[in-house]
Structure 1
Amino acid sequence: MPQPRVSVIVPAYNAMPELTDCITSAMEQTIGLDQLEIIAVNDGSTDGTGKELDRLAALCPSLRVIHQENSGTAAVPRNVALDVARGDFVFFLDSDDYLGPDALRRMVAMADENDTDIVLGKMVSVGGRAVPTAVFKSTQPRTDIFSSAAYRTLGCWKLFRRSLIERLNLRFPPFRNTEDKPFTAAAYLNANGISVVADYDCYYHRDRENGNNLTLTAQNLSHRMQGTRMCFETVARYLEPGPRRDQIMRRHVEWELCGPLWWLLLRESDEDIRERIYPEVRDWVENYVTDPIIEKLEPRDRLLLHLLRADRFEDVLSVIRNAKEDAGRGHVIDGGRVYWDHPLFRAPEAGVPDSAFDVTDRLPVRHRIDSAAWQEDEGGNGNGDGAGNGVLRLTGHAYIENVPTLDAATELVLRCYDADHPEVRVPARVHAVAGLPDDERYADAGFVADIALPTAAAGAPLGRGRWNLFLDVRAQGVSRTVRMKSPEPAERTPRRKTVTMGEGKPTTITPYVTKWGNLSLSVGGQEVPRDDTPCRVTGTSWHGSRKGTLVVTGVRTGAGAQDAGALTVRVENSKGDRREAPASLTSLDRTDGSFTAELPLKGLPPGRWTVTLTQPGHASVAAVPYLRALGHARWFHLARPYTARPVKKASETTLVVEIRAVDVKATVRRKLRGAVRRARG
C-alpha cells in the first residue's frame, strides 16, 4: 500500500450530527483519496457516532475507524491515531469542524515548496465561534514564531510534518482542557520553518449543536492547571532566558495565567484557591514572568502580577472580585501620563509601582476624516486635471479617549515606507467641533491640515515614494499617534493630481486607500498597492421599512468593479444552514462599483449567524465587519416577536448576528418589576 501524503486524524465523541460534514469534507479533498488516510477514533460515543463512522468507512476505503472506550479527552484518541498514522504529514481535524475542499492540497504544496514543518491554514468562524485572525492577514511562505503571529494560535488544527512529531516523540497529554497547547508549543519551538495559507478558507470552526464541546464543558480552572504548567515548562526547556523567551512566554502569561485567573478563579473553593492554586500560580510568576513581560501587558494584568509577586493573597482576591467595578473607574493625568485611578494606585501598603497603572499608550485615538480635497488654484481645477500648487486639505476631528481637549494640538505626520526620506510634520489648525459623544470634554477636537506638497519637507518638495499619513494628537501634555483613516465614505478620496514640484517639474500625486482602510499618498507615479479582495464593506444597517432585513453596502474593488452580478451576502449558522441574497449596483453611472445587498433574516431560527460576502472565482469570502452603527432589529414572525443584534466580540473580523425569540411574559414581568422599583424609589 503506497504511503499517503496526509493522515487526517479525527477524534470523535458524541459528535452527531456535525460529524458527517466533518468526515465528508476530508473525503472530498481535491488532493485525492489516494493521497489521504483518514483515521477517525470513536471515543466511546453513545449517540450513533460509531455507526455513522462505520457507514462512511464502507463508502470510502481511505477511512479507517477505531472504536475504543471513552477516555474523557480528545488527547487519547489523537494519540491512538498518531500511533498508526503513516502519512508524510498529519492534520488534526475536530469532529465538529470541516475543511475547505482545496485545503489540504494547498497546505501540502506550501510545505513542499518551502520545506516547512508546520502549515497554518486560514480559519473561518461559523456561527460566531472565535478564531485567530492576526496570523492570517497575509500568506507567508516561510516564517517562524518570532517574526509572525503564529504562536498566538496553539490549537492543533494545523498540518504537521510527521517526522517532526516522531523526532520529538510528541503526544498529547491526557487533559480535558489545554491538552493541545503544550503539543503545538513544542512543535513550534522545534520546527524547521512555518508556513501560513491566508488566501483560502481552509478550516471552518464551529460549536456543536448540543453544546458539549470539551472546550466549553471543561471550564474550571482545575482543568487548565496541568496544561498551563506544561506550557511554561515547554518554553523554558527549549528557549534560553532573554528577549526571545519573553516574547513567547508573554502569550502564556496573558492567555493561560492572567486570563483564567480573572474569570475562573472565584469558581473554585476557598480551600482549593489557598492551598493548591495560589501557590502554584505564584511559582509560575516567580520562575517565568519577567519585568519586560509585565511592561507589555494591560494594566489590570500588571497589577495582578505585581500583587502575586508581593504575595498579597487577599489583595489578589479583592481585585479579581471587584474587577468589573474597578474597570469603570476614571483616570488621573499627571506629568503627561495617564493612570488608571484604581483604589490601589499609589497606595503605600500595596507597593505597586505607578507603571502598573499607566494606560497612556493604550488609550485609543478617536478620529474621523470628514473631507480630503485639493485646494482650488489657477493651475488646476481641484479634480487633478492640471498642474497646480499641490495643497491637499484634510478636515476632521481627533481626540484621545478620556483626555479632555485642554491645550489641544494636532499635527499631521507623513512617513515614507519605500524610500529613505525623513519624517515630515504638518501642524494643523485646531478648532471647536460639535456632535461628538461628549461635547464638553472634546470641544476642541476639530482640525484643518494643509499639506503643501511642493514645500512640505522643510521648504522642499515631498520626496518620491509612498507616504503613510498619521495624526499626532496632543492634549494636557499627553501625546498619542495613530494611523489616519480614509475619508468617510472612502469614495471621497481625492483623485490623482499633477503638481508643480521642485524646479518646475510636474509630478503625479495619487491619494489612495490601503486595504486596511487608511489614507496614503503616492508621490511620483509609484505603483499603488492593489487590493485583491473583491469588495470592501462600507456600511451595515437594518432596512427602514422591511423589518428584520439586513442591508450591507460597499464598493467593488479591483478588476470587475462594475460587475456585481455574482456578489451575494450570506448568513450561516453552526449547523451549516445558509441564506443568501444577491447584491445590486447602486451608483447611477455604474462606474464606481458601489453596491447594496439586502438579506431578510425573518424566518431564520434563533441562534448566531455569521455574515459574509461571496463571489465565484475568488478563493475566500469578504468579511462583513462588525460596525458600531449597527444596532438591533425587531420583527414578528408567525405572531411571535423576534430580535436580532450584533455580537460585538464573537469574531474579530466578521459580523455575527444573534437572533432571539422574545419571551413576552418574561419581558412584561421585568418591566413591571422595574416600574414598581421606580415608583418606590
Structure 2
Amino acid sequence: MAVKVSVVVPVYNPGAYIDDCIASILRQSLPSDEYEAIFVDDGSTDGTADRLDAVAAQHDNITAIHIPNSGWPGRPRNVGIEAAAGKYVYFVDNDDWISDEALERLYDYAERNGADVVVGKIVGHGKGKYVPRYQFARNVDDASLTDGGNNPPLLGLLSPHKLFRRSFLDEHEIRFPEGRRRLEDHVFVMEAFLQAKRMSILSDYPCYHWMSREDATNASFAPADPVVYYRAVRDVLDVIDKHTAPGLQRDRLYLHWYRSNVLQRMRGKAWVEGRDPHVRETFSEVHRLASERFGPGVTGLLPGRFKPLSRSLMAGRLDLVAAQAAIENGLKADVVLDSIEATPAALRLSVSATMSYADGTPVRLIERGGTISWQPPPPLAGEPTILADDLDFTSEVAATKLSLVLRHRGSLVEYEVPLRLQEQTRVIDDALIIAPRGTVVIDPATVAIGSELEAGTWDTFIELRSCGWVSIRRLSRVGGRPIIGRRMVEPYTTDVGNLSLRVTDFAHPKPRNVQPVPPAPHNRGPSRRRVHITNLMKRALPGWALRWLRRFRSR
C-alpha cells in the first residue's frame, strides 16, 4: 500500500514529553501501512535517541534518523522531507500530540479538494499557545489569502503544523531556512501559501494539540533579541515582496506582521513603565522597521486602537506608546447574563457587555457629524502628535462583535458562536460607550461547526471585540433547565459562580470530535447545585431515560 502521509517530527531533548507524541501517532485511525512517522533526532543528549531506536524497531512505519546538532528545527524538518515516502507531509513537534483521526481526515480533505496545503484545526494548551478562533470558524474547501479582507484566516497561525503535498514542496523547492533562525516556520509557510494553487482549512475536527511546557523545553521559548527577531520579520516580508506586486494585496499581508508582530507587542506592564532596557531596545528596532517597511498603504488599513499607537511609533514617541499601554492595561469587558431560556431543542442566552478600563470606567466615545471618535484619557487627550483621523473609530464601532465561546474542560477544544446584536453602543453622560447587547441560541445538534456538541463539561465565555480591543470573560450565573434530545444539556453553576454546560449523551457513543488530553489533567468537580426537571419534562421522557437521569443526578 502506498504511503499516504509522512509525519515528520524534529526532535531535541524532549524527555518524557515525547511519549505523548509517539503514542498519538501510533493511535492513528489510518492503517499502519498507509502512513509513516519520521523522527529526526537533532543530537539529543537525554537518552531520546535510544528511545526512538527502540520504537522504530517495534514498528515498521516508524523511522529514526540521527543527525549532528543543528540547534534549530529547520534542518531536522528538511531531512525528514527528503526521507518522506508519503504523498503528503505533516509536521509535528516532539512535545505536541495529534488526535486519533487527524491523518485520515487531513488526507481525505486534501484529496477531496485537490489541496496543496491543508490547515487542520489546532488546539492551544497553556501559556503562549494562543490559537485565533476566527481561523477555524468553519471548514473552507478553497481558502485564499484574500479571504477576510484585512484579516485573512490563513494568517491566523503560521506555525508549520499543517499538511503539505510533497510534490508541491519539491516542485517549488520549498524548504525551511536552516541554522538558528527565528520565524523560520513563517518563511516556509508563506512560501507555500503564496505559491499553492489550492489551500483548505479543516475546522470541524481538532487535529493538532499545541502544548506549552512549564520547564520551557519548547525550541523557541527563550525571549528574542529584538535585532535578531525583527531581522527575521524582514525575511518574511522579503518573501511577500518576492511573490506579490506593490498594491493592496501586499499591503494587507504586510498589515498582519505590522499589527501582530510589532504593534500588538507594545503593551503590558513593561511597556507601561517604559524604562526596561529590553523595551527601549525593542522600540528602537521596531521604529526603524516601521519607518522602512510599513508605509501609508499599510498604516491606512489599521483598525481602531492601532492607529494612534502607530502614529506614536512612527513619531519615535516611546512616552506616548507607554501612555497608551497604561490606559489599556487591564481594559476589560464587564459582562452580564441577562436571561437564559431553554426549549426542548436549544438554549437561548441574552447577554450584555460594556468595554471598560481597569478602574471600571467605560471607554468613552463621542459622535459629531456622523463621526465616532475615541476620547482617550490624559496624557493622550489633546496630544498634538495624535491626529483627529487617528481617533476616528466610526467603522470599527460598527464592526463591534460579541461572541459566545464554548470550551471543553478536558480537551480545551473551543467553538465560537456570534451573538445577534440588538445594539452596539449606548449614551451615558453625553458620551457613547461600547455596550453591545444581543442573544445567542445554542443548539447542541449543530453548534460544533454543524456537528453535535460532544459529551463532557463545556465552560462558557463571552468575547467582546471592538476597535482593536479584545476581552474574553467567563460567563456567570445560572438558569434554565435541561434540554432533552440526543443530548442533555444542563446549565449549572460552578463552585465560583460561573456558568457551565454539562453535555451528556444518553447512548454513550465513543466521542468523535473530543480527545482526552494525555495525561488527563485534574479538574475540580462541578458544583452540586443542579437545575430541577419540570413536570412537563417528566411526562415527555420515556421511563428508561428518567431512570438513567435519576442515577446521573444522584452521583
TM-score by length of 1: 0.57
SS of the residue 1:163 aligns to = helix
| 2:263 alignment partner, one of 252, 258, 265 | 258
Matched, 1:136 2:136: yes
* 8 A Cα contact 1:253 1:289, kept in partner: no
| 2:390 alignment partner, one of 347, 356, 361 | 356
2:314 is matched with 309
* 8 A Cα contact 2:113 2:142, kept in partner: yes
Change in CA separation of 1:186 and 1:143 when aligned onto 2, cut-off 3 Å = same
1:294 CA displacement: 4.2
1:249 CA displacement: 1.9
SS of the residue 2:439 aligns to = coil
1:305 CA displacement: 2.1
| Counterpart Cα distance in 2 of 1:204 and 1:539 | 19
Where does the alignment leave 5 or more consecutive residues of structure 1 unmatched?
369-466, 492-511, 518-528, 542-550, 601-681
| Counterpart Cα distance in 2 of 1:165 and 1:296 | 33
SS of the residue 2:85 aligns to = coil
1:525 is matched with none
| Counterpart Cα distance in 2 of 1:538 and 1:229 | 41
1:497 is matched with none
2:159 is matched with 155
2:408 is matched with none
The residue type equivalent to 2:294 in the other structure is Y
Max Rg structure: 1
Aligned residues: 451
SS of the residue 1:340 aligns to = coil
Matched, 1:320 2:354: no
Where does the alignment leave 5 or more consecutive residues of structure 2 unmatched?
330-356, 404-418, 462-477, 490-503
2:9 is matched with 10
| Counterpart Cα distance in 2 of 1:243 and 1:481 | 33
SS of the residue 1:217 aligns to = coil
| 2:303 alignment partner, one of 286, 297, 300 | 297
* 8 A Cα contact 1:143 1:193, kept in partner: yes
1:372-521 to structure 2, matched below 5 A, reads 470-471=422-423, 473-475=425-427, 476=430, 478=432, 484-486=438-440
Change in CA separation of 1:540 and 1:115 when aligned onto 2, cut-off 3 Å = closer
1:47 is matched with 46
2:354 is matched with none
1:64-103 to structure 2, matched below 5 A, reads 64-103=63-102
* 8 A Cα contact 1:5 1:89, kept in partner: yes
The residue type equivalent to 1:57 in the other structure is A
The residue type equivalent to 2:309 in the other structure is L
| 1:172 alignment partner, one of 161, 166, 176 | 176
Tell me whether 467-476 or 577-586 shows the greater mean CA deviation.
Answer: 577-586
| Counterpart Cα distance in 1 of 2:327 and 2:285 | 27
* 8 A Cα contact 2:140 2:201, kept in partner: yes
SS of the residue 1:259 aligns to = helix
| Counterpart Cα distance in 1 of 2:214 and 2:17 | 8
Structure with larger RCO (C-alpha < 8 A, sep 6+): 2
Note the alpha carbon deviations across 1:551-594, whole angstroms, 9 max, x for none: 99985576455974439999977744466979999524255999
1:587 is matched with 533
What is the alpha-carbon root mean square deviation over aligned residues? Answer: 4.5
* 8 A Cα contact 2:30 2:103, kept in partner: yes
* 8 A Cα contact 1:127 1:572, kept in partner: no
| Counterpart Cα distance in 1 of 2:226 and 2:261 | 10
| 2:193 alignment partner, one of 183, 188, 192 | 188
1:376 is matched with none
Matched, 1:340 2:340: no
Matched, 1:247 2:252: yes
SS of the residue 2:194 aligns to = helix
| Counterpart Cα distance in 2 of 1:182 and 1:167 | 17
Change in CA separation of 1:220 and 1:561 when aligned onto 2, cut-off 3 Å = same
* 8 A Cα contact 2:423 2:438, kept in partner: yes
1:70 CA displacement: 2.3
Change in CA separation of 1:243 and 1:12 when aligned onto 2, cut-off 3 Å = same
The residue type equivalent to 1:245 in the other structure is R
* 8 A Cα contact 1:246 1:290, kept in partner: no
Matched, 1:287 2:293: yes
SS of the residue 2:261 aligns to = helix
* 8 A Cα contact 2:138 2:204, kept in partner: yes
2:222 is matched with 217
| Counterpart Cα distance in 2 of 1:557 and 1:141 | 34
1:247 CA displacement: 2.4
Note the alpha carbon deviations across 1:313-368, whole angstroms, 9 max, x for none: xx1255237723565596463525332235244323x2x31232345535997999
Tell me whether 147-156 or 566-575 shows the greater mean CA deviation.
Answer: 566-575
| Counterpart Cα distance in 2 of 1:555 and 1:68 | 57
| Counterpart Cα distance in 2 of 1:231 and 1:483 | 40
1:106 CA displacement: 0.9
TM-score by length of 2: 0.68
1:13 CA displacement: 1.1
The residue type equivalent to 1:333 in the other structure is I
1:445 is matched with none
1:610-625 to structure 2, matched below 5 A, reads none
| Counterpart Cα distance in 1 of 2:226 and 2:27 | 39
1:160 CA displacement: 0.7
The residue type equivalent to 1:346 in the other structure is G
1:208 CA displacement: 2.7
Note the alpha carbon deviations across 1:113-139, whole angstroms, 9 max, x for none: 111111111122345642332122222
| Counterpart Cα distance in 1 of 2:222 and 2:16 | 18
SS of the residue 2:262 aligns to = helix
| Counterpart Cα distance in 2 of 1:177 and 1:326 | 29
The residue type equivalent to 2:143 in the other structure is T
* 8 A Cα contact 1:534 1:556, kept in partner: no
Note the alpha carbon deviations across 1:187-221, whole angstroms, 9 max, x for none: 11111111122222211121235322123224443
2:113 is matched with 114
| Counterpart Cα distance in 2 of 1:210 and 1:557 | 45
Note the alpha carbon deviations across 1:155-209, whole angstroms, 9 max, x for none: 1100011122222222222345322111111211111111122222211121235
| 1:278 alignment partner, one of 262, 279, 284 | 284
| Counterpart Cα distance in 2 of 1:535 and 1:290 | 50
* 8 A Cα contact 2:99 2:515, kept in partner: no
1:27 CA displacement: 2.6
The residue type equivalent to 1:316 in the other structure is L
Tell me whether 556-565 or 162-171 shows the greater mean CA deviation.
Answer: 556-565
SS of the residue 1:131 aligns to = coil
* 8 A Cα contact 1:7 1:85, kept in partner: yes
The residue type equivalent to 1:484 in the other structure is G
Note the alpha carbon deviations across 1:510-546, whole angstroms, 9 max, x for none: xx999679xxxxxxxxxxx9773357978779xxxxx
The residue type equivalent to 2:107 in the other structure is V
| Counterpart Cα distance in 1 of 2:505 and 2:365 | 52
